C-alpha cells in the first residue's frame, strides 16, 4: 500500500461545516461593534437596521422590486413552515424530495397537515425525481439545493411561466451561491448561516405577488399559531416585510448579517459570490477526478452542488463494508482530520449515505480547499491501512 506522508501545510481556516458555515474572510468580533445592543428592535435604530438588512438582501440577491422580503424566526425551517401552513390546501400539491430536508417537508404536509391531495415524488440520495411528471397546475414544494445530498436543480427551466399553482422553494444552501429565477418562484426561503456565514436562528421569507394574492384570498382550514400568521383581517401584514418582525430578533445577529451582506457587495455581489463558490467546488472536482477512491454522491455533473459538496467512497475495500462499517470508517477519518485541526465537521449528514460533505460556499477560501485535499489523501491512507491491518 502507498504510504502518504503527513502534509506540511494546513488550511488557514479549517471550518468546512455545512451550517453554520465559515465566517467571511477577515471576520472578527470588531465587525459587530455597531450592533444595536440593549435596544428594542422596534426602536428607530433597531427598525432601521432590520430595514437595511431587507434592502441589502434585495440588492445582493437581486430580488424583484415587487417581491416582499421578511425576516422571520426559527431559521430556514421557520420560513418554510410558515409558507406550508399558510399557503397550502387551496389546491393539490406536488412534493419533491431527494434528501432529508425535502423529506421533512413531505412529512409535514402528509402527516401533520394531512393534505389529502398531496402527491410525493422522491429520489434516492444522489439523484433528482422525474421533474417532467410534476404538475404545475398544482402547488409544488421543493428544495433548490439538497444540502445533505449535494444535488441541486440545474435551473428553473422545468417550471412553466404560466403555472397556476405556487412554487415554494427551500433555497437555504443555494441563495447567494446559485442563480435563483425569481420569475418562476413564488416563495423562496433561506437562512443567514449558510452561504453568507451568518449566525443561526433567523430565516428569510420571500413572497411573489402571486403568493401574496393567495394569502389574502385563501384561509386554511386549520388554526395558525401567532408565529405563523402573515395576514390580519384578510390583508398581508406589511410590517413584517418592512422590518417589523413577528418576534424579537437578535440585533447582534442582524449586525452580523449586515456585515456579511456588505462583504458580499465588496466581492462583486451575487456574481462574485457565485464565482467564489464555483471556484471552490472546482478544486474538489479536480481532486475527485484524480482520486479513484472517491466520487461525487450526485451522479449527474449538471446537478452537482457548488456549496454542499457530498462525496462517497468507492474504493473497493471501503465500499465492501456494510453501512455501520462505512460509518465507522468515516468517523475515524474525520476524527483524524479534526485532531490535526485541518477540517471540522465534514462527515456526511446523519441520514445520508456514509461519506464526506465539504462546504464550498463563498466564505470559504479556495486556497484552503487546495490545502485540504492532501490531508484528505493522508487521512484516507491512514484509515485504509488500519482497515487492512484489522482484516
Condensed to tens digits (0 to 9), the pLDDT of residues 253-310 reads: 999 999 999 999 999 999 999 999 999 999 999 999 999 999 999 999 999 999 999 9
Domain match, 257 and 284 both:
no
Number of compact structural domains in the chain: 2
Q: Which of 233, 265, 297 is the last residue of a domain?
A: 265
45 within some domain: yes
Q: Is there a single domain that holds both residue 161 and residue 149?
A: yes
Residues 193 and 278 in one domain: no
What count of other Cβ atoms lies within 10 Å of the Cβ of residue 348? 24
Pair (243, 341) in one structural domain: no
Q: How far apart (Å, rounded) are the C-alpha atoms in residues 62 and 57?
A: 8
Question: Do 136 and 116 share a structural domain?
Answer: yes
Is there a single domain that holds both residue 220 and residue 341?
no
Specify whether 93 is located in the same domain as 197.
Answer: yes
Parallel, antiparallel, or unpaired: how do β-strands 167-170 and 139-143 relate?
parallel
Of 265, 291, 306, the residue at which a domain comes to its end is 265
CA 64 to chain centre: 21
Q: What is the domain range of residue 385?
A: 269-390
42 in a structural domain: yes
The candidate with the shortest Cα–Cα distance to 307, out of 336, 329, 331, 279, is 279
Residue 3 banded pLDDT, cuts 50, 70, 90 = confident
| Residue 327: all three cell numbers together | 460509518
At residue 1, the pLDDT reads 45
Query: Looking up cell 485540504, which residue turns up?
Result: 372
CB 45 within 8 A of CB 36: yes
Q: What is the pLDDT of residues 48-77, one digit of tens each?
A: 999 999 999 999 999 999 999 999 999 999
Instruction: Judge if 219 and 316 occupy the same domain.
Output: no
Both 302 and 323 in one domain: the answer is yes
Residue 391 confidence class, pLDDT cut points 50, 70, 90: confident
* Average of per-residue pLDDT across 102-121: 98
Alpha carbon distances (Å) from 215 to 78, 227, 315: 17, 15, 52
Are 236 and 321 part of one and the same domain? no
Amino acid at each position: 500500500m502507498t504510504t502518504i506522508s503527513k502534509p506540511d501545510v494546513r488550511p488557514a481556516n479549517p471550518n468546512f461545516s455545512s451550517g453554520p458555515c465559515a465566517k467571511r474572510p477577515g471576520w472578527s468580533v470588531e465587525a459587530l461593534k455597531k450592533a444595536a445592543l440593549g435596544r428594542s428592535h422596534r426602536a428607530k435604530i433597531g427598525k432601521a437596521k432590520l430595514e437595511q438588512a431587507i434592502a441589502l438582501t434585495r440588492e445582493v440577491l437581486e430580488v424583484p422590486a415587487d417581491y416582499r422580503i421578511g425576516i422571520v424566526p426559527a431559521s430556514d425551517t421557520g420560513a418554510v413552515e410558515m409558507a406550508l401552513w399558510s399557503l397550502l390546501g387551496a389546491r393539490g400539491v406536488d412534493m419533491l424530495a431527494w434528501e432529508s430536508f425535502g423529506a421533512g417537508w413531505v412529512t409535514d404536509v402528509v402527516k401533520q397537515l394531512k393534505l389529502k391531495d398531496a402527491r410525493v415524488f422522491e429520489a434516492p440520495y444522489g439523484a433528482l425525481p422525474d421533474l417532467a411528471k410534476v404538475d404545475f397546475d398544482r402547488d409544488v414544494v421543493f428544495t433548490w439545493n439538497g444540502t445533505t445530498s449535494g444535488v441541486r436543480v440545474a435551473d428553473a427551466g422545468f417550471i412553466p411561466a404560466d403555472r397556476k399553482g405556487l412554487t415554494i422553494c427551500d433555497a437555504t444552501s443555494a441563495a447567494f451561491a446559485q442563480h435563483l429565477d425569481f420569475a418562476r418562484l413564488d416563495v423562496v426561503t433561506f437562512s443567514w448561516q449558510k452561504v453568507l456565514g451568518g449566525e443561526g436562528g433567523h430565516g428569510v421569507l420571500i413572497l411573489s405577488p402571486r403568493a401574496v394574492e393567495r394569502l389574502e384570498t385563501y384561509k386554511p382550514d386549520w388554526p395558525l399559531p401567532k408565529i405563523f400568521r402573515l395576514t390580519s383581517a384578510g390583508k398581508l401584514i406589511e410590517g413584517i416585510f418592512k422590518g417589523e418582525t413577528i418576534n424579537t430578533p437578535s440585533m447582534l445577529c442582524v449586525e452580523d448579517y449586515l456585515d456579511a451582506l456588505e462583504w458580499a457587495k465588496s466581492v462583486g455581489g451575487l456574481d462574485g459570490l457565485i464565482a467564489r463558490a464555483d471556484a471552490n467546488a472546482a478544486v474538489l472536482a479536480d481532486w475527485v477526478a484524480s482520486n479513484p477512491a472517491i466520487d461525487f454522491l450526485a451522479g449527474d455533473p449538471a446537478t452537482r452542488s457548488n456549496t454542499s459538496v457530498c462525496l462517497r467512497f468507492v474504493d473497493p475495500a471501503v465500499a465492501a463494508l456494510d453501512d455501520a462499517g462505512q460509518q465507522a470508517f468515516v468517523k475515524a477519518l474525520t476524527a483524524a482530520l479534526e485532531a490535526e485541526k485541518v477540517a471540522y465537521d465534514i462527515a456526511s449528514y446523519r441520514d445520508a449515505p456514509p461519506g464526506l460533505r465539504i462546504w464550498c460556499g463563498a466564505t470559504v477560501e479556495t486556497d484552503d480547499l487546495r490545502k485540504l485535499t492532501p490531508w484528505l489523501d493522508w487521512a484516507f491512507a491512514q484509515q485504509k491501512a488500519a482497515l487492512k491491518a484489522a482484516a
